[in-house]
Amino acid sequence: MLVKNIRNIMASVAGVAVATSAMGETNAGAKFDVYGEFRSELTYNDDGLAKIEEGGKASTTTVLGVDDVKFGFKGKLNDRTSLNLRFSPMGDSMVDLAVANWKASDMLSVSMGRDYVRQGGYSNWDNSFSNVWGDRIQSLAFDRNASSLSLHYMPNSSHNITVQLLNDVMDDATTTVKEANYNTSHKQPAAILEYAGEFGSIKPMIQYGQYDLNHSSFWNVGARANFGATALTFDYGANSAFQKVGTSDKAAVYNTMTLRAEQDMGSMVPFLWFNSFNRTDKDVNGGTESKTNTTGKWDDNATQISVGSSFKNFGDNWTPYVAYRMTSGKFTNSAGTEKTGSEGELGLGATAHF
């Protein structure tokens, strides 16, 4: 872990080089803001997955934990250069974000450093910082944040096109999603294309990426919409991870759909959150489709529903919330019988922003 953090910090320093090249410009207008988030939750889980095994008994748990801590600073070094440095003490990498952006013109800018990977649509963007709805099961080809180089083209304020280059996915047979078998060494960067637009109250987004030496690919279409006090977010995507099976290329396809609806009622904001995940792998498995999850995991199929509400009027920085989350999917028990298993949890927590 220490070696990984050091490597990420060193990679992030490369991103700051963009700002260093601009130091010769005036920085009299430099301005930075400190920001952060803290989330703590009391969670009651019914341990429903234990009931899948023959004779299994559920052992409910109640845990009080700190789920998310992030802090950093962001702002402008000068009129052309901005920085965002964010730390995550509880994450896999201490440096969560470390990205510098240089504005070449009103329509063109360049970002470099440890940045958000443009995959998974709006739902992945939201869940990368604070997620009180539930752990979104998805088939991301890359980690949420990674060292990258991005070119942004903005013909006007309503349209943004981004081309992102980042280190390709490497061979890793121990994971269920990153099943790359082609790129065994750093041979070329992977590429992602994203379009984000705004048409009145609707903001569509389209993402497409190729990886594993261009053998595998993913895409996502989504939109955000605000109609008065109602906010909607929708994303649908697929990731086709190809493998070498004998002398042929076979793909395991992962489909994900997410829908979130919120209604601002003044003192409270009720929400409904839905997420579905399914893996199709009959080609990889010689024509036999695996239709069940590994016991104790959600790695083949799942349906998630979360209902709850956040509450306002507790100050500008504190937001309490309550959420009930249920996840269900197909499993095979010890007797070899296919069954539907579910797991439910009740969360009481609060987020703090500064």
pLDDT digits (tens, 9 = 90+) for 80-133: 999 999 998 887 788 989 999 999 999 999 999 999 999 999 988 876 544 676
Is residue 287 a part of any domain in this protein?
Answer: yes
Distances (CA, A) of 112 to 16, 46, 259, 329, 346: 8, 44, 31, 40, 40
Q: Could you tell me the residue range of the domain that residue 200 belongs to? A: 40-76+117-353
Going by C-alpha positions, the residue among 103, 115, 147 that lies closest to residue 7 is 147
Q: pLDDT at position 171, please? A: 63
Q: Confidence class of residue 192 from pLDDT cuts 50, 70 and 90?
A: very high
Question: What is the tally of structural domains in the chain?
Answer: 1
Which three-class secondary structure state does DSSP give residue 292? coil
Which amino acid appears at position 204 of this protein? P
Is residue 188 a part of any domain in this protein?
Answer: yes
Query: Which region among 58-62, 175-179, 206-210, 317-321 has the lowest average model confidence (pLDDT)?
Result: 175-179
Which three-class secondary structure state does DSSP give residue 312? coil
Is residue 7 a part of any domain in this protein?
Answer: no
The secondary structure of residue 171, as a DSSP letter, is: P
Tell the residue number behind the tokens 């197909």, with chain if given.
Answer: 330
In this predicted structure, the answer to whether residue 15 has a pLDDT above a threshold of 90 is no
Give 163-178 pLDDT, tens digit per residue: 999 999 876 554 445 5
- CATH code of the domain covering residue 63: 2.40.160.10
Is residue 146 a part of any domain in this protein?
Answer: yes
Q: Confidence class of residue 230 from pLDDT cuts 50, 70 and 90?
A: very high
Is residue 88 a part of any domain in this protein?
Answer: no
